[in-house]
Amino acid sequence: METSEIIKKVRKVEIKTRGLSQNIFAGQYHSAFKGRGMAFSEVREYQYGDDVRDIDWNVTARFHHPYVKVFEEERELTVMLLVDVSGSLDFGTIHQTKRDMVTEIAATLAFSAIQNNDKIGVIFFSDKIEKYILPKKGRKHILYIIRELLDFKPQSRRTDVGMAVSYLTRMMKRRCTAFLLSDFYTRDDFYKEMQIANSKHDMIAIQVYDQRAKMLPDIGLMKVRDAETGHEMIIDTSSAKFRHAHTAYWLEREEDLRRLFAMSNVDWTSIATNEDFAKALMLLFKKRA
């Protein structure tokens, strides 16, 4: 992609997603994602009912009167985006590809993060770690992230979600809020990795899918190609039995995902490429507030 074209696309994504984060998510994001703990604020004189474990013995000894430490919520977060860049994300049939929507969602979350003075970092993954962007603050950093989201070329087209989640657990020493963005077209069972990651971090999963993956249109014979393996085959979409089996398989996969996230205590949402992702994110934020 030409540099001038990239710049135009970055600017277009910035205008849309920054506006969404400012006008829609300003308060919701803050209340949905709390700070990582309690930070020391000041000392004051001991009052009846205070926890004796909060007494500051050094200050107490100096003034010969009990003083306690006062703590407040540590608001600043580190936000990590785990972005699936495998081949299946290039698929799209109605309004946009799954990759386009993932880019817009990631950019919106990034702008929401910096408006709350949070650091934002990214892990691009396929069936291996493709790129790691260190968490930083600022508009310049986010524009760099958007550019990478738009123009990044992965080395592999396959997917391994569990590997990416394990990498996050190893890399991030301090607690962070992590958004996992994927279509979850993966054959691996990543329940154990999600459970471990969510015990250390605050994990949120966002599935992006295309409506045609759920319900096939009746258009007769059609050649389909697996974007990750390259395998091609002819399917007969005029067969009602085949279309029903396809939908049943999709619903079964969705139920497996729902069960996995429920068992690992991870909040998640599922968004089609022809849907308004802002509404889905708002509902997710409200549920967490």
Single-letter code of the amino acid located at 286: K
- What are the Cα distances from residue 153, in Å, to 29, 156, 208? 30, 9, 19
Question: b/e string for 86-95 if b means 16 or more Cβ within 10 A?
Answer: bbbbebbeee
Residue 50 has pLDDT above 60, yes or no: yes
Closest CA to 167 of 136, 230, 121: 121
Residue 53 has pLDDT above 90, yes or no: no
- What are the Cα distances from residue 227, in Å, to 111, 232, 278? 31, 9, 28
The mean pLDDT value for 94-112 works out to: 89
Full DSSP string of 196-221 = HHHHHSEEEEEEEE-HHHHS----SE
The pLDDT of residue 115? 83
Binned at pLDDT 50, 70 and 90, residue 218 comes out as low
The pLDDT of residue 35? 53
The pLDDT of residue 52? 79
The pLDDT of residue 13? 84
Closest CA to 203 of 26, 82, 30, 27: 82
| pLDDT tens digits, 239-260 | 778 788 878 887 888 999 999 9
Residue 59 has pLDDT above 60, yes or no: yes
The pLDDT of residue 5? 77
Chain Cα centroid distance, residue 108? 11
The mean pLDDT value for 58-72 works out to: 80
Chain Cα centroid distance, residue 177? 9
Number of H helices, E strands in the chain: 10, 10
Closest CA to 197 of 171, 218, 223: 171
Binned at pLDDT 50, 70 and 90, residue 36 comes out as very low
Highest mean pLDDT, choosing among 30-34, 94-98, 164-168: 164-168
Highest mean pLDDT, choosing among 47-51, 128-132, 170-174, 241-245: 128-132
The mean pLDDT value for 44-57 works out to: 82
Rounded to the nearest 5 degrees, what angle is found at the Cα of 243, between the Cα atoms of 237 and 245?
A: 140
The pLDDT of residue 223? 66
Of the chain, the percentage scoring pLDDT greater than 70 comes to: 85
178 vs 114, more confident: 178
The pLDDT of residue 243? 81
The mean pLDDT value for 25-40 works out to: 61
Distance CA 194, CA 267 (A): 11
For residue 137 the two structure tokens come to 């603050």
For residue 113 the two structure tokens come to 């993060």
Owner of token pair 């049943």: 248
Mean predicted lDDT score pLDDT of the chain: 84
The pLDDT of residue 285? 86
The pLDDT of residue 85? 96
CB 59 within 8 A of CB 203: no
Distance CA 124, CA 82 (A): 6
Domains defined for the chain, CATH in brackets: 3-32+76-288 (3.40.50.410), 37-74 (no CATH)
For residue 265 the two structure tokens come to 């205590």
Distance CA 284, CA 32 (A): 9
